Amino acid sequence: MENNNTPAWLREAEEVLIRYCKEFSPVLIDRAAGSYIYTQDGKAILDFTSGQMCAIIGHNHPRVQAALASSHDKAWHLLSTLLSEPVIRLCQELVALLPEGLDKAILVNTGSESNEVALRMAKLYTNGHEVLGFIGSWHGMTAGAQGSTYSHTRQGYGPVGPGNLALPAPYAYRCPVRHCQGTCDHTCLEVGMDLADRQSVGAPAAVMIEPILSAAGIVDLPPGYLAKLKAMSAERGYLMILDEAQTGMGRLGDWFGFEQEGVTPDFLTLSKTLGGGLPLAATLTSREIEQVCFERGFLYITSHVSDPLPAIAGLAVLDIIREQKLVVQAAEKGNYLKAGLQKLQEVHACMGDVRGRGLLLGVEIVKDRHTREPAPELGWAISKRCLELGLNMNIVRLPGMSGVFRIAPPLTVSYEELDLGLSILDQAIREQQ
């Protein structure tokens, strides 16, 4: 039955749009600037998701606008074999930021694409096809990336490619092997690799992971885990693909999520945060892997590979992050926001866990803090009330887990805006409990 409270514009939209998500938000957006999005009727909404976790430098940053405006008479799009100066410069700057072993880059459009590139190269290099991925992961919607995505997007679409094997994620708050509680001693990794060994047909290609699993509810890899996974994978012949779509470009308080562990992956994929809100992604790997793949005829030609226009935006994003020292700010503001959330946790029993790093934080909503019984509907009600009050929050509602807020404001967010967001969240929880 049609809801009479549904706005007319939303009814019109649903007449012509394929409904690609569970439901559309009941606000019509007109413009965006900084930490805010604005509805068509002029209401300001503080954006604690940075758009789709992409607008790391805030919405419509003036420097990016100026860079795009200056390119009006430059090439925007070219044949795949033709290169431009912005593409070469951006690849040079990315390589310069990274350790040895991540020496060659390709620019594409989305996170799905960047992961497809890495998967194709890993399979070509190893002559294998088996790919390990975490339960709860999200690596994209294209076929290869979707095969290693173990969130709620798998059912109903038929079989994925052969060789995709799932590992339990180190979700300490809800241990997947019912062993730990609150901490992780890596037992889940040992169990997972043992199971993978028994399922393997002896054709290893890659393990694809995120430093913090976002769609799984902000699951941070515990200390030492990444190094251990890299060693165990290498022993078996798997290359490591690190998907830093949401964690790269400073969001965690380091340029890249793997830096704290000192582990260099075989492939690094960047997307969301690289373009600052525009469609830009990159895959990086070693000279050795690139050389072998080149000799074996590696091919990845799409309509918009190496397009100049998004590369121009990416260069501006890098400049802004460096000049405004946003990596340091992400660490400092992240600590401030996390402390604020922990203070709210002392007041609200439904806030079962606060976790994450930098400006990528998670709050898990529960019915009972001691039993940790999930409360996804309460989380959804809080999210809806936040939006009504002027705060955009994202709630993860996956089967088998409670609602978890993924909190990811722009790195340019002010302390006053962080305080405002905490105040609105506090009010929304009080009104919904």
Q: Give the residue ranges of DSSP H helices in 27-101.
A: 50-53, 62-70, 85-97
**Mean pLDDT in residue range 195-217:** 96
- pLDDT mean across residues, the chain: 95
Q: Is the pLDDT of residue 172 over 80?
A: yes
Residues 242-297 have pLDDT tens digits of 999 999 999 999 999 999 899 999 999 999 999 999 999 999 999 999 999 999 99
| Range name among 1-10, 35-44, 125-134, 335-344 with the lowest pLDDT average | 1-10
Token readout for 37 is 């999005």
Q: Is the pLDDT of residue 2 over 60?
A: no
**Mean pLDDT in residue range 400-420:** 91
Q: Which band of pLDDT confidence, cut at 50, 70 and 90, is reported for residue 398?
A: low
| DSSP characters over 108-138 | ESSHHHHHHHHHHHHHHHHS--EEEEEBT--
Q: Which domains are present in the chain?
A: 8-57+325-432 (3.90.1150.10), 67-323 (3.40.640.10)
| DSSP characters over 276-306 | BTBS-EEEEE-HHHHHHHHHTT-----TTTT
Where are the strands (E) in 8-103, listed by range?
Answer: 29-33, 36-39, 44-47
Q: In angstroms, rounded to a whole number, what is the distance separating the alpha carbons of residues 100 and 85? A: 23
Q: Is the pLDDT of residue 402 over 70?
A: no
385 phi, psi to nearest 5 deg: -70, -35
pLDDT reported for residue 396: 86
pLDDT reported for residue 268: 98
Q: Is the pLDDT of residue 336 over 90?
A: yes
pLDDT reported for residue 1: 40
Q: Please list, in sequence order, all residues whose beta carbon lies within 8 angstroms of the beta carbon of residue 33, skipping any fewer than 6 positions away.
A: 58, 59, 60
pLDDT reported for residue 154: 86
Q: Is the pLDDT of residue 399 over 80?
A: no
Catalytic positions? 138, 210, 243, 246, 272, 406
